[in-house]
Chain A
């Protein structure tokens, strides 16, 4: 570069900067500030560079993924395993929460019926004969369980023990056709025998004369016969069929207080001794 050209450039720069400095008060009074002008000038260029770097970044990432393919696959596998483990953990926690809720309900039942001493047990099996309604639980004679003992759950009466091995026992449910419970409609002085009929519903058979039974009335054990203690909730009257001329007794259908298909925990009433017939 010649000395003349250098001198000319330097002079132009000095004059230009000087001019800018001289004009700056005018811009401050309402004209375009130099920062804004600069931004306006470099904006399109910045946009162009931004798009360009985006494209370049994408290209670099693609190249990196191609180069790191096996490592990414491994990482993916590890993450997949982690997701599975977390899913299992979530399921386990959900189960624990459900179990906690059920056990809490059992404890509440025990507290509100504190006149008896209880032992809790978990349902581990069912009667394999389809028409029989019985469960197998994980407590047996080693835990003090005896044949005839009454079994309840958070809802109410479940049934009674029909066989007790050392570590397990079988409980005949009140929904089994072979089961019979002396019950009464609370506050109505109507007594009868609660039985499961072939359709799987509970019925109050041979009800005694008394006040009129209505839908929603509560049915509890009457304690007659000494097989079950009095006052244990059996269920609610779900339907009362009107008498036809050929009927001697009204047909009283009871909805059980216990959800038997979902039953997982039960309580043995330990200090009630059922009466034995001579």
Chain B
């Protein structure tokens, strides 16, 4: 079921314009992967990062595996934190969406440098603001807004997957 959601997110992300505006700042796949890791732990998080990353690269122009590399660290880290805690936690999910997206975006931006063959980030504040902070913030807000639904859905699921 979750992988169907991931596929839908990739499809949606590839159908809407990512070229400008607030819509262009939403990274649905990163959001789903990080939220999933914060709910289900590191293994489920890494699985989601693998599937989501491969789907992104199959549809997009990044080399295959590039998005997996970007999504995996955040998913693993927040999945590990989840293992030490009990029950679905709002703060962890929001933090995972915020920091996990920031981490994934930073890695993609860094991967762009060797792929582009030039130092594309002429100023560090451009990198932090445009590539990292804005999608992280948007995903954090989306995670906070959707938390009541996520919690209700999560409580209906079996205890472990």
Contacts and interface: CB of A to CB of B under 8 A. Distances in A.
Given A195-B118, A197-B120, A127 B14 contact: yes
A126 B14 contact: yes
A128 B14 contact: yes
B14 A136 contact: yes
Given A163-B61, A199-B122, A127 B109 contact: no
Contact of B59 (A128, A177, A197, A199): A128
A149 interface: no
Contacts of B56: 128-129
Contact of A128 (B25, B60, B126): B60
B13 interface: yes
Contacts of B108: 129-131
Contacts of A178: 61, 112, 115-117
B19 A128 contact: no
Interface string A101-134: 0000000000000000000000001111111111
Interface stretch (B32-40, B83-91, B127-135): B127-135
B150 interface: no
A44 B121 CA distance: 89
Nearest to A133: B19
A130 to B, nearest CB: 5
Contacts of B93: none
B157 interface: no
A180 B119 CA distance: 12
B10 interface: yes
Contact of A127 (B21, B60, B121, B126): B60
Contacts of A200: 130
B61 A126 contact: no
A197 B119 CA distance: 8
B121 A132 contact: no
Contacts of A172: 61
For A177, A179, A197, the residue with the greatest tally of chain B CB atoms inside 10 Å of its CB is A177
Contacts of A260: 19-20
Contact of A195 (B18, B25, B120): B120
Nearest to A170: B61
Nearest to A260: B19
A203 B127 CA distance: 17
A127 B58 CA distance: 10
For B15, B17, B20, the residue with the greatest tally of chain A CB atoms inside 10 Å of its CB is B17
Interface in A245-278: 260-261
A174 interface: no
Contacts of A163: 61
Contact of B25 (A127, A130, A133, A197): A130
Given A197-B122, A200-B130, A130 B15 contact: no
Interface of B: 10, 13-21, 24-25, 27, 29, 56-57, 59-62, 66-67, 105, 108-109, 112, 115-118, 120-123, 126-127, 130-131, 135
Interface of A: 125-134, 136, 162-163, 170, 172, 175-180, 195-200, 205, 260-261
8 contacts: A126-B15, A128-B10, A128-B60, A129-B57, A129-B67, A131-B109, A132-B61, A132-B62
